[in-house]
């Protein structure tokens, strides 16, 4: 039998070195990590960072959120895990001592760091003469504003997709449109903003509810969308119900039917003098903001 060639120790060492170099190269190419530190829920820095990161390619950064660091012990435990050269640090802390502790640690560890809130609080204080309270409990108070948002959410859920028509007049804003024009998700986002939102779905073959037609025109926003996009959304939705691709949708996703239904809804909006909003390729956050602008809210 032919004997197997023995691998020399030098070749083994060289192979290990090559593997290590490859691992280091891959690590260097990995997306930089952004450590986001918060003494509360982290909603504020998360939303701020999300907006900032839209200006970069998707996947350009990896975000790690560290929340409820509301004691020196909790903060110190996280800081000890942040070592030299391991990403960037961004924070939104209320306590000046916590801000200082983060800055001191990051400077020693050579970690770039940024305070997302401090400069804005200082700006407001310097130019208004008002002193900040530095009270963490004030971030999420169960106050009148909180109660208003909770009531708005309850109202919106009770007035989704044509429900609660008898009390639809109590809504701050009413969204209407044919099926799959983002009425429900936009209504829920408006509710989280504190607006009592209702929505009513329209179908060309069914007369619109009289309760909707009787509303003041400046309270209603009609939603429309590009016919091709709507047809794609409806076809996908049809398949999600278990129907086979290409099967008869009964007109629901038929190109001509979709186009005619949207034209019909536009005519209705015009006759009722309702504001019209095109939601094509638009996030619900933008749709909600534009809808409020249209009713003068």
Residues 38 and 47: their CA atoms lie apart, in Å, by 12
- Report if residue 197 sits inside a domain: yes
Longest dimension (CA), the chain: 96
Task: Give the domain CATH number at 74.
Answer: 3.40.50.2300
Does the structure show a pLDDT above 80 at 169? yes
User: Are 108 and 162 within one domain?
Assistant: no
- Report if residue 263 sits inside a domain: yes
Per-residue pLDDT tens for 206-254? Answer: 999 999 999 999 999 999 999 999 999 999 887 777 655 555 555 788 9
Q: What is the pTM of this model?
A: 0.71
* pLDDT classification of 9: cutoffs 50, 70, 90: low
Q: How far is CA 292 from CA 83, 99, 158, 288, 297, in A?
A: 46, 37, 20, 6, 5
Contact 224, 202 (CB under 8 A): no
Q: Which domain holds residue 90?
A: 25-137
> Which residues lie below 8 Å from residue 88, measured CB to CB, with a gap of 6+?
32, 33, 34, 35, 111, 112, 113, 114
Pairwise pLDDT comparison (258 vs 21), residue with the higher score: 258
* pLDDT classification of 184: cutoffs 50, 70, 90: very high
Residues 95 and 170: their CA atoms lie apart, in Å, by 42
- Report if residue 283 sits inside a domain: yes
Contact 74, 38 (CB under 8 A): no
| Predicted local confidence at residue 174, as pLDDT | 98
User: Are 86 and 167 within one domain?
Assistant: no
User: Are 86 and 196 within one domain?
Assistant: no
Q: Under DSSP, is residue 213 helix (H, G, I), strand (E, B) or coil? A: helix
Number of domains observed in the structure of the chain? 2
b/e map 240-270, b = 16+ CB within 10 Å: eeeeeeeeebeebbbeebbeebbeebeebbe
Residues 138 and 134: their CA atoms lie apart, in Å, by 9
Per-residue pLDDT tens for 35-65? Answer: 999 999 999 999 999 999 999 999 999 999 9
The secondary structure of 48-73, three-state, reads HHHHHHCCCCCCCCEEEEECCCCCHH
The mean predicted confidence, pLDDT, of the chain is 89
Per-residue pLDDT tens for 132-159? Answer: 888 777 777 778 888 999 999 999 999 9
């Amino acid at each position: 039998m032919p004997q197997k060639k023995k691998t020399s120790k030098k070749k083994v060492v060289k192979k290990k070195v090559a593997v290590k170099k490859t691992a280091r190269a891959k690590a260097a190419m990995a997306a930089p990590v952004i450590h986001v530190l918060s003494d509360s829920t982290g909603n504020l820095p998360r939303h701020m960072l999300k907006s900032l990161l839209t200006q970069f390619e998707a996947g350009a950064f990896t975000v790690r959120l560290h929340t409820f660091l509301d004691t020196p012990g909790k903060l110190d435990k996280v800081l000890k895990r942040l070592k030299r050269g391991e990403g960037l640090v961004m924070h939104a802390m209320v306590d000046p001592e916590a801000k200082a502790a983060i800055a001191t640690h990051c400077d020693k560890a050579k970690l770039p760091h940024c305070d997302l809130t401090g400069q804005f609080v200082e700006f407001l204080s310097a130019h208004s003469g008002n002193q900040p309270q530095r009270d963490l409990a004030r971030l999420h108070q169960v106050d009148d504003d909180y109660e208003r948002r909770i009531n708005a959410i309850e109202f919106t859920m009770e007035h989704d997709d044509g429900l609660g028509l008898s009390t639809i007049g109590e809504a701050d804003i009413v969204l209407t449109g044919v099926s799959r024009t983002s009425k429900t998700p936009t209504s829920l986002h408006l509710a989280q903003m504190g607006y009592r939102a209702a929505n009513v779905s329209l179908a060309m073959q069914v007369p619109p509810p009289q309760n909707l037609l009787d509303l003041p025109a400046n309270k209603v926003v009609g939603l429309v969308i590009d016919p091709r996009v709507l047809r794609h959304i409806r076809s996908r939705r049809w398949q999600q119900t278990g129907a086979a691709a290409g099967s008869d949708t009964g007109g629901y996703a038929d190109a001509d039917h979709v186009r005619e239904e949207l034209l019909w809804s536009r005519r209705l909006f015009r006759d009722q003098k309702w504001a019209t909003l095109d939601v094509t390729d638009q996030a619900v956050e933008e749709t909600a903001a534009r809808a409020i602008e249209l009713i003068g809210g």
